[in-house]
Amino acid sequence: MFSIASLVVIASLLVSQAAAHGSVTSYVIGLTTFAGSQPYSFASGHSSIERPYSIILAVTDQTVRCNNNGQPSSGQLSATVVAGTSITAKWSQWTQSQGPVIVYMANCNKVRSSVNSNTLKWLKIAQTGLISGKLGKKPGRHPARRGTGIVVDTLAYTSTIPAALAPGDYLIRHQLLAIHQANTPQSYPECAQLTVTGSGKGFPSGSFLTMFPGTYRWDLSASDPSININIYDATTAACLAPV
């Protein structure tokens, strides 16, 4: 059994890891800034539009949907946004420039205050993968610029809420994929709650939607070529964008 002191040390280490990798500490919608992750606050004191956040290193982990057990925090808030408006996620810091940035949204079916993210299906609304340069080159030769390089440089990523999206309650999911370790992808997803307004009429269905876990394949016989790559291997010629 762990002592209280040991548990405090473990909790401090986890918080330090989260702070070291960085997290979305705020969201900007129009002229309004909303609080995001509060890495030095426990979930019970988390008053934010963002769902509780922790480090997830396995892309097939059951908590990869929204980085927690799927439930909102006790102080969960929601931000109102007009469909067609841009939203900017801002990170405290980020150090890995080699991976993609992908943004998804899920319809909460008018129960945002209690919806479990484990039950939702997700629509990709934005992504930035390889911007320039070439894959398969050793560091220092012909460096490739990728989506997370934008976050390294600006500590921000802007996407647009689809203008045709029907009014309602949604989760937005920003995901950074770190692929700097060969064949060992790391997923850093964070979710925030939104109330969308406007004159949109719908939300896609069927093949336009995906689930987490399930989007990425990760096993010995059939790993996912979009994330299971070695960017330092000169024979690596392509990297597919994740679903």
Q: What is the pLDDT of residues 57-116, one digit of tens each?
A: 666 677 777 877 667 777 788 999 999 999 999 999 898 887 889 999 999 876 556 677
- Provide the token pair at 87: 């939203």
Contact 148, 97 (CB under 8 A): yes
Rounded to two decimals, the pTM is 0.79
Rounded Cα gap, residues 84 and 81, in angstroms: 9
Instruction: Supply the DSSP symbol for 47.
Output: E
**Which residue matches tokens 């109330």?**
195
- Per-residue pLDDT, 22: 76
Average pLDDT, the chain: 75
The answer as to CATH 3.30.70.1140 being correct for domain 25-210 is: no
Judge residue 41's burial from the number of C-beta atoms within 10 Å of its C-beta, 0-12 exposed, 13-18 middle, 19 or more buried: middle
Rounded Cα gap, residues 168 and 183, in angstroms: 39
Q: What is the mean pLDDT of residues 39-68?
A: 66
What single-letter amino acid sits at 73?
S
Alpha helices in the chain (DSSP H): 4-21, 147-154
Rounded Cα gap, residues 144 and 156, in angstroms: 19
Q: What is the pLDDT of residues 133-174, one digit of tens each?
A: 666 555 554 466 788 889 999 999 999 999 999 999 999 999
Coil, strand or helix at 136? coil
Our measurement of the distance from residue 11's CA atom to the centroid of its chain's CA atoms, rounded to an integer in Å, reads 22
- Per-residue pLDDT, 19: 46
Say which residue, 29 or 242, is predicted with more confidence: 29
Instruction: Supply the DSSP symbol for 225.
Output: T
Comparing C-alpha atoms, which of 122, 148, 137, 132 is closest to residue 203?
A: 122
Residue ranges of the domains in the chain?
25-210
Q: What is the mean pLDDT of residues 171-181?
A: 86
